[in-house]
Amino acid sequence: MLTDPADPSRVLLETADLAGDHDLVLRYRTPLREIVTWAREYLCRPHEELGRKGPVCPYAQTALERGTFYLAVRPGRPGGPEAAETLAGYRDWFPRLPATPGVSAQYRTILVLFPDLPEPEAAAVIDHAQETLKSRYVSEGLMIGEFYPGPPPKAGLWNPAFLPLGSPVPLLAIRHMVATDFPFLRDDPAQVAAYLERFGDRPPAALRTEIQAVAGRYGLVPGNASRAPSLTAS
């Protein structure tokens, strides 16, 4: 278990902690274990509807194996603005987490669970928080993903009939942006600019043509994204 030096009330649980007796574990052991099982049996495995080879999430297995898969719990039934506020502390803590020798930072993730949210409320709360936070996260080189039962009505990149973001417990996930995240950002010029600042000189070969086309549409070029509008701080 990790404790945030900036706020001792904020903790991150590791998978080994789920056998312990921390207050959050005693209260939420079942949903915490459900998410770990979901990660191992869904994220870490191929899916016949995914539309490509390999696991649903290319990073989950390493994160679980190398101890960079962290869990947090937000008790209660917050609305979207309160859920977004909860994530602010974890966003600030994320880059200060201890580095794991031999493990790239791209394998680090925090999953903030909202286990008390009833399923009928989860979509509105989680979607509001994710939409509110996304631009700020992208500007800092981070991504925030929304997961909940349903699943969320966002199609997969390789199969538009596949909805990959369903999870047994509502949650928001924090991770580093990677070069293959461009399709999640292409509809917002400021987010495209933030992407180009990090990956414009080394785009994935499979996305190079699309990146050039989208950047041109917004009047951007790799390495010179100054003409894009500013990302809104949240």
78-83: Cβ within 8 A, 24+ apart: 78/114, 78/117, 78/125, 79/125, 79/128, 80/124, 80/125, 80/126, 80/127, 80/128, 80/129, 80/132, 81/128, 81/129, 81/132, 83/114, 83/125, 83/126, 83/128, 83/129, 83/172
Q: What is the pLDDT of residue 132?
A: 94
User: What pTM, to 2 d.p., does this model score?
Assistant: 0.90
Residue 13 has pLDDT above 70, yes or no: yes
pLDDT band, residue 232 (cuts 50/70/90): very low
Spatial distance between the Cα atoms of 185 and 177, rounded to a whole number of angstroms: 10
Model pLDDT for residues 94-143, shown as the tens digit of each residue = 999 988 888 888 899 999 999 999 998 999 999 999 999 999 999 999 99
Tell me the average pLDDT across 177-187.
Answer: 91
Each domain of the chain, given as residue ranges in start order, spans 2-177, 179-234
**151 upstream amide cis, omega within 30 of 0:** yes
Tell me the average pLDDT across 21-45.
Answer: 96
| End-to-end Cα separation, the chain, in angstroms | 28
Q: What is the pLDDT of residue 11?
A: 96
Residue 44 has pLDDT above 70, yes or no: yes
Residue 186 to residues 146, 194, 198, 210, 211, Cα–Cα distance (Å): 18, 11, 14, 9, 8
Residue with the bigger pLDDT between 230 and 33: it is 33
Cβ-Cβ contacts under 8 Å for 206 (sequence gap 6 or more) = none
pLDDT band, residue 192 (cuts 50/70/90): very high
Residue 63 has pLDDT above 70, yes or no: yes
Spatial distance between the Cα atoms of 227 and 87, rounded to a whole number of angstroms: 30
Tell me the average pLDDT across 40-67.
Answer: 92
pLDDT band, residue 223 (cuts 50/70/90): low
